[in-house]
Amino acid sequence: MIRHQVYFDTLGSMQEDSVSWRSVFAGLSVLRLVDTYADAGSPAHAPGWEQLHAVRTAIEAVSEGDTIRGVLTAVLEEATKRGAIDDTVCASLLAYGRSLDYEASWGLATDVFATVAKLVRPEKNARLAVEANVLIGGAARRNGEWDTSARAYSQAAYIADTLGDKPGVLTVQVGIANTYLAKGNLPQAETILDDVIVQARDQNLPEVQGKAVHSRAVVAHRRGQHAEGLKLAHEALHLIQQPADRDFVLEDIAVLFSELGLRESARDAHMILTATGQTKLLRWTAAVNLMELAGLDGMEDAFDAYAKELADAPMGCGVRSHYLLFLGEGMARFGRVDEAENTLREAISFAEANQVHQVVFQAQKALSAVRTTPRSREAFVVPAAWTHEEIAPVVEAISNLRKAAVAAQ
C-alpha cells in the first residue's frame, strides 16, 4: 500500500494550488521527508539538498496565517537539526496531527498519528507511544473509522497496562467512552466515565479526571441537560491545566451558554478565547463566533467591527468559510440583502473550492432564504434573560475570567 494514501486522495479531490491544497501538499512533503530519514538508518543516507529545498518551498507556499505552516516548520527544523527521527521530532509531528485534528481533517490526522506510532519505541518512551495511539483512536473515531479507532485504543491500553502506566490506562478508557458517546450509547459512556472520574480522583490525577468530567458534560449536553452540562464543564475547567485542553472546554461552555439562551455569557467565553486561545486559529474562530452573536443580538455596529477586523485575517479555510457564512447571514438579518446575497455566493464558492461541505449546504440554504424572503428588515427581539440559580456561579466565574483576560491584554 502507498504510504500516506489519504494525502494523495485528498489532494486529488481538491482544486490544485488552492489554499487548502498547498497546506495538504506541504504536509505530505514533510511526511515523505520523515520517511526518508527513518528509512536512511544513518546520516550518510539522509535526504539530499534537493528534497530539503523542495520541502521548505512547499511549507513557504502555505498561508502565513495557517497554523499548519508553523508546526510543519518545527518538524522540518527538528528533523534536519538531528539528521534522524527521534522522540522530539515525533512530538513535533503529534503537534502537526493535532492541528489537523482541530481543523476536522481527521483522515489526515489519523495518518500523521499512525506515522508516529510506527516510529516511536514503547520500551523507550511509553508515554509517547500511548499518546500517539490514543490520538489515532480519537481522530479515527471522529472520521467514522471505528475499527481503526478500536485497534488503536486496544494497542494503547496494552502498552499502558504492560508498563504500569495508570494515567495512560485511564486516558484510554476516556477515549473508549467517547466512542460510545459518538455512537449514541450514552448510558455505557456515562458508566465508563463515572468509573474513570472516581479512579482518577482517588489516584490524584486531575488532568485525567478533568478530561473525563469534560466528556460527562458532553453526555449531559446530548441529553438536553444543558445546566448540568455547564456545571460539569466548569468543574473540568478547574481540573485541567493543559492550555489547549482548557480551550476546548471553554468552547463547549460557550456552546452550552448559547443553548441556554445566555448569549452574554457565551460572548464572555468567546472573548476569553480571543484573548488567551493557544492558537491563532482558535482565536479567529472565537472572533467569528462573536461576530455571529452580534448579528443574532442585533448589534450592528459590533457586527461590522468584527467583520472589518476579520476581513483580511489569514485564517484557515474552515474558519474563513464560516466567517463568510455568518457574515452573509448577519447582513441578511440587518436588511442588507444585496450584500448578503453576494457574500453567501462567495461563501459557497470558497467552501466548495476547499471541500468544506457543511458550509456549502448551510450557505445555499441561507441564500435561498434571502432570495425568497420579502426585503424588509426584521424587528429585533431581545432574548429573554434566564439564569438558573444552579449555574449562576458559572456565569459569574466566566464573566470574571473574561474581565481578567481582557485586563491582561
How far, in Å, CA of 66 to CA of 336, rounded?
Answer: 31
Q: What is the mean pLDDT of residues 119-129?
A: 91
What percent of the chain stands above pLDDT 70?
A: 93
Q: What is the mean pLDDT of residues 145-160?
A: 94
- The whole-number pLDDT of residue 64 equals 85
Q: What is the mean pLDDT of residues 387-407?
A: 79
pLDDT band, residue 111 (cuts 50/70/90): very high
Q: What is the mean pLDDT of residues 367-384?
A: 66
Instruction: Look over the chain and give the mean of its residue pLDDT values, rounded to a whole number.
Output: 89
pTM of the model: 0.76
- The whole-number pLDDT of residue 283 equals 83
Higher pLDDT, 405 or 113: 113
- The whole-number pLDDT of residue 382 equals 47
17-23 long-range CB contacts below 8 Å, 24 or more apart?
Answer: 18/317, 18/353, 18/354, 19/63, 19/66, 19/317, 19/354, 20/317, 20/353, 20/354, 20/355, 22/58, 22/61, 22/62, 22/63, 23/62, 23/63, 23/66, 23/68, 23/69, 23/316, 23/317
